[in-house]
């Protein structure tokens, strides 16, 4: 049985799906209580890395991954014990959208990361903290992930004019 790569895994870490799919057990540091993420996208440029705390929900996912009968250096595996490929994740997303009857909604794997950062911002984390979480070299990149989902509420209150004023 393969460990599925779905929304909760990426959304719990703010990491790219590539970092989740290519996560090795050697990056999971139970002594320090963190996962050492070294983003592949920035490896040849900034090399921004981040240590992410192993929270109870993340620990549960890691514990489940250990119960899968295939031994591998990778945490997230396909049915053959290999790291999940990008195409497999896109297929799973497409199939999930079909099951949820939401095929018409524009949703990508990258949206999971944006949702995680947006939710964190709404929970009170500031942009500097989110920049570290996202392993971004600059603040503007992080800001681009934050989506405004709040509908503004007007505070303007007008009185209707009297008939004699019209």
Q: Which domains does the chain have, with CATH numbers?
A: 7-86+93-105 (1.10.443.10)
Which residues of the chain are under the pLDDT cut of 50? 1-8
**pLDDT value at position 95?**
73
What pLDDT sits at residue 56? 92
Which pTM was predicted? 0.67
Q: Which residues pair with 53 in a beta bridge?
A: 34
In this prediction, residue 27 carries a pLDDT of 95
Q: What is the dihedral of CA 91, 39, 35, 78, to 10 degrees?
A: 30
Look up residue 88 and give its two tokens: 């497999």
């Amino acid at each position: 049985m393969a460990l599925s790569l779905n929304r909760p895994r990426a959304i719990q870490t703010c990491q790219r799906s590539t970092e989740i799919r290519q996560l090795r057990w050697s990056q999971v540091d139970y002594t320090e209580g963190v996962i050492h993420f070294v983003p592949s996208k920035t490896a040849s440029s900034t090399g921004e890395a981040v240590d992410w705390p192993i929270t109870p929900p993340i620990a549960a996912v890691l514990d489940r991954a250990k119960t899968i009968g295939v031994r591998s250096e990778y945490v997230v595996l396909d049915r053959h014990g290999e790291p999940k490929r990008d195409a497999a994740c896109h297929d799973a997303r497409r199939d999930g959208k079909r099951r949820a009857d939401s095929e018409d909604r524009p949703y990508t794997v990258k949206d999971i990361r944006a949702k995680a950062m947006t939710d964190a911002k709404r929970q009170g984390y500031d942009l500097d903290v989110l920049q570290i979480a996202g392993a971004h070299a600059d603040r503007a990149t992080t800001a681009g992930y934050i989506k405004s989902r709040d509908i503004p509420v007007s505070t303007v209150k007008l009185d209707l004019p009297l008939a004699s004023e019209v």
